[in-house]
Structure 1
Amino acid sequence: MTSTRLRVRPTRAEDIPGIIELSRRIYGPDSAWAPAQLESHLRLFPEGQFVAIAADEAGVERVLGMAGSLILKWEQAHLDRPWREITAAGMFTTHNPAGRTLYGAEVMADPDRRGQGIGTALYRARDKLVVRLGLKRIRAGARLRGYHRVADVMRPESYVAEVVAGRRRDPTLSFQLRRGFEVIRVVGGYLQRDPESLGWAAVIDRLNPAATDAADREAARRWRRRVGLPDAAG
């Protein structure tokens, strides 16, 4: 398929079949997004949902990527619970518009379009949303997709420290570090039954400079020092 230029826009109801088809290709039929979940996202927080699309020569748009987000209050945002609990089994009914943290619950991109900037474009849309809503931060759980390769010889904290220091590459975390995120902590049981991460994830955080101050930045640094992690490397 020859496509026109990639663009990102807010998700619409008519995008749901394309999102489901893409998630089936990425995660398999048993873990794909369900219509009820995606409909709930649009009902609760439509501004936080984005798709990356491109049109073919006939003008038919195809979903090439998707980002799903919700707002959490501070006490919800430590991400020390499984993804299913944080997101209410993917329904996003834990969304709290009184919060100041945008939680990036999902980003997915067409695996046949790697290197075409889909993930970067979706993150830029989230950045603009955080600024527009005056939120303090974006926070997410970066599943450690490469950890299973070294799990028998390395603790997950050591694996993350090596990725942060630039001595090792992880397909998910390395990308997010390049986007300016910093690791706050490492958590287990985040994505249960995930054979790549074995349930481990790095809690990543990026502050909105327009809505935070030196105290917020120092608090993040103290937490990283507490768990023995260096600052992000470039």
Structure 2
Amino acid sequence: MYRKEFFVFEDSVPVKAVVRNYEKNDFDSLIQVQKESFPPPFPPDLWWKKEQLEQHVHSFPKGALCIEIDGEIAGSMTALLVHFDPAKPHHTWEDITDSGYITRSHKRDGDTLYVVDISVRPKFRKLGLGKWLMFSMYETVVKLNLKRLVGGGRMPGYRQHSDHLTPDEYLEEVVKGKLKDPVLTFLLRCGRTPMSVIPDYLEDDESCNFAALMEWKNPFIR
């Protein structure tokens, strides 16, 4: 199982952080992380339910990570294994994650680690915890000798530009640095690279239901 201890900095003061696999007694805290991380207009019915979290730790505990600050859960990240064909990138979040339950969709012999979710409570976001969670999943990719990490990134800044930019043009502007997007810019800073834009990925008004499929390739693949 996964456990990593290190320090992050808050106003130049070291603060102890721990990334580890989440467990059943963490479920209430993980649901609270979701509520704080994805307030309306994000659909509340997409917040984790205990039944989904139980399936995560049962089906693929290696893909169930949380991060603690001084013993308090500050964020989480969940992933599953899939067979991924880059030539056929289009899918929906519900289909590839089995509506977040990762039961039928998780493939033990999959070649790709697919990101189901990543979230950090707002009061902890200045500590860079999302990047630490992402890097921890990269380590999981290497450990399992997978080809890549892939996930659909929300485009919450797109709605403000949808009257004059296509989703692909918006993504291109973000990659060029001419626009900043709360999610896409974060993923770029974590080393993820765009593959394509997916329509009708998730019910998400801010993103006009689009997502950018972004990957991290395993440099150590054998």
The answer to whether the 8 A contact 1:79-1:141 is kept is no
2:55 to 19, 33, 40: 40
Identity of aligned residues (%): 32
The answer to whether the 8 A contact 1:77-1:103 is kept is no
Which residue number corresponds to residue 138 of structure 1? 149
Runs of 4+ more than 6 Å apart: none
1:105 to 78, 95, 116: 116
One-letter amino acid of the structure 2 residue matched with residue 152 of structure 1: D
Which residue number corresponds to residue 67 of structure 1? 77
Report the CA distance between 1:120 and its aligned residue.
1.0
Map 1:82-231 → 2, pairs under 5 A: 82-93=92-103, 94-192=105-203, 194-211=204-221
Root mean square deviation of aligned Cα = 1.8
1:80 to 90, 101, 106: 90
TM normalised by structure 2 equals: 0.87
Structure 1 pair 76–10 and aligned structure 2 pair: CA distance change class (3 A):
farther
Structure 1 pair 52–18 and aligned structure 2 pair: CA distance change class (3 A):
same
Pair 1:31 & 2:74 matched: no
One-letter amino acid of the structure 2 residue matched with residue 84 of structure 1: E
One-letter amino acid of the structure 1 residue matched with residue 134 of structure 2: Y
Which residue number corresponds to residue 8 of structure 2? none
The answer to whether the 8 A contact 2:89-2:196 is kept is no
Which residue number corresponds to residue 11 of structure 1? 22
Aligned residues: 204
One-letter amino acid of the structure 2 residue matched with residue 69 of structure 1: A
Structure 2 unmatched ranges of 5 or more:
1-13
Structure with greater Cα Rg: 1
Q: By percentage of residues, which structure has more strand? A: 2
The answer to whether the 8 A contact 2:146-2:218 is kept is yes
The answer to whether the 8 A contact 1:148-1:197 is kept is yes
Report the CA distance between 1:25 and its aligned residue.
2.1
Structure 1 unmatched ranges of 5 or more:
56-60, 213-234
SS at match of 1:50: strand
Taking the aligned partners of 1:31 and 1:104, their CA distance within structure 2 comes to 15
